[in-house]
Amino acid sequence: MKLSELEYALPHELIAQHPPERRDESRLLVYDRASGAVRHRLFAELPDELASDELVVVNDTRVLRARIRIERPRGEVLLLERTGEGGLWEGLARPTKRLRPGRRYGPVELLEHLGEGRWLLRLDGEPDGEVPLPPYITEPLAEPERYQTVYAEAEGSAAAPTAGLHFTRELLARLNVERVTLHVGLDTFRPVAVEELEHHQLHSERYEVAAGAWERIRNAPRVLAVGTTTVRVLESLARGAPLVGRTELFVTPGFEFGRVDSLLTNFHLPRSTLLALVMAFCGVEETRRLYRLAIDERYRFYSFGDAMLIR
């Protein structure tokens, strides 16, 4: 797949800067792969679009308060993943060229530069910074909990699994729900920088699935994966991966899905591996058509934007 196939033009005003007043007031674009039909609904109407025997699988990871501001030089450290005992973490730090190993910057001691802005570091205490909003969100967030799903539980992500941000507790109570955990790393969201997608390296992410949860998922008549992170967990397990581990599964067009029947997802950045996964599930040209339609219909894009259900 060529990088140019992951490009599209988005009017800047369609990048959602804040969540809707109520989570399930988001719009929902529904696409039926068998018939090609498209419906425009509200997210609160999701249960009406699902089969009676459909199991809804969510990723219950919780976003860390991972953005730590530093002074002299002015910049920040973004915690990505705990790597060991004694406060050892891997993180991104900037401005990397002005930072030095062995130096302390507030509660952070930088130990070793790992390349591409990544550092091995030691953190005093537990993460106590800011919730790390994506850079395209430039307006302050009045309620940091709006960048967490209502079912977030297992702390460990550097970014939210945003397809789940639309759910309310009342809406969840109307659905048959199961949980998995995948801790989202920023590498998932980084733009692809190579011309051929197969040359892009996707770093691994930690996941965990309870044995009973996988038994339910494996035997369900239909499975709706909430978000691309959930897809990566389920399709890793469907290929024989252990219930606890790391996955570097890279889903691109031509991928054969073994467990996911439907996908609920937000509208993703161009040149992203997330968009490639949606194209793998929906079809390249179909996805491009649906994105053009969403733009024409003035859907809101990215983390706090609207959602799409692909059946």
CATH at residue 217: 3.40.1780.10
| Cα 27–Cα 9–Cα 163 angle in degrees, nearest 5 | 35
* 128 assigned to some structural domain: no
201 and 184 in a single domain? The answer is yes
Q: What is the mean pLDDT of residues 136-152?
A: 94
**Whether 216 and 80 share a structural domain:** no
Lowest-pLDDT choice from 88-92, 210-214, 239-243: 88-92
Pairing status of strand 262-266 against strand 307-310:
antiparallel
* Residue 84, in any domain of the structure: yes
Domain that holds residue 72: 67-123
Give the predicted TM-score (pTM) of the model.
0.94
Structure confidence at residue 194 (pLDDT)? 80
pLDDT-above-70 percentage for the chain: 99
Contact between 54 and 178 under an 8 Å Cβ cutoff? The reply is: no
Say if residue 259 is in the same domain as residue 150: yes
Min mean pLDDT across 127-136, 209-218, 290-299 is at: 127-136
Which domain-ending residue is among 77, 99, 123?
Answer: 123
Residue 201 pLDDT > 90: no
Place of tokens 């003035």: 298
The answer on 210 and 115 residing in a single domain is no
Would you place residue 188 in the very low, low, confident or very high pLDDT band (cuts 50, 70, 90)? low
| pLDDT (0 to 100) of residue 199 | 74
In contact, 288 and 8? CB cutoff 8 Å: yes
Cα gap 176→226, rounded to integer Å? 13
- Based on the fold, state whether residues 176 and 35 are members of the same structural domain: yes
User: Over the stretch 26-82, which tens digit does the pLDDT of each residue have?
Assistant: 999 999 999 999 999 999 999 999 999 999 999 999 999 999 999 889 999 999 999
The answer to whether residues 189 and 76 belong to one domain is no
Q: Is the pLDDT of residue 197 over 80?
A: no
Choose the final residue of a domain: 103, 123, 143. 123
For residues 129 and 93, give the distance between their C-alpha atoms in angstroms, rounded to a whole number. 14
Is residue 95 domain-shared with residue 108, that is, in the same domain?
yes
252 part of a folded domain: yes
Q: Are residues 214 and 241 in the same domain?
A: yes
Indicate the number of domains in the chain.
Answer: 2
**Quick one: pLDDT band at residue 11, thresholds 50, 70, 90?**
very high
Q: Does an H or E element contain 290, and which?
A: helix 284-296
For the four alpha carbons of 49, 51, 53 and 58, in that order, the dihedral sign comes to negative
Whether 32 and 173 map to the same domain: the answer is yes
Per cent of the chain over pLDDT 90 is 83
The pLDDT value recorded for residue 264 is: 98
pLDDT value, residue 191 = 73
Residue 289: Cβ-neighbour burial (10 angstroms; 0-12, 13-18, 19+): middle
Task: Look at residue 29 and tell me if it is in a domain.
Answer: yes
Output the average pLDDT for the chain.
94
Q: What Rg value do the Cα atoms of the chain yield, rounded?
A: 19
What average pLDDT does range 95-121 have in this prediction? 93
Cβ(219)–Cβ(213) below 8 Å: no
> Does residue 57 lie within any of the structural domains?
yes
Same domain, 166 and 256: yes
Question: How far lies 286's CA from each of 33, 68, 204, in Å?
Answer: 9, 41, 29
Within this chain, do residues 166 and 244 fall inside the same structural domain, yes or no?
A: yes
The pLDDT, as a whole number, for residue 198 is 79
Residues 302 and 22: beta-carbon distance below 8 Å: no
Residue 238's φ and ψ, nearest 5 degrees, are -65, -20
Last residue of a domain, one of 123, 158, 192: 123
Question: Is residue 230 domain-resident?
Answer: yes
Residue 58 lies in a domain: yes
Q: For position 85, which CATH number holds? A: 2.40.10.240
**Quick one: pLDDT band at residue 195, thresholds 50, 70, 90?**
confident
- 240-287 confidence digits (pLDDT tens): 999 999 999 999 999 999 999 999 999 999 989 999 999 999 999 999
Out of 44-53, 197-206, 228-237, pick the least confident.
197-206
**291 falls within a domain:** yes
24 lies in the same domain as 81: no
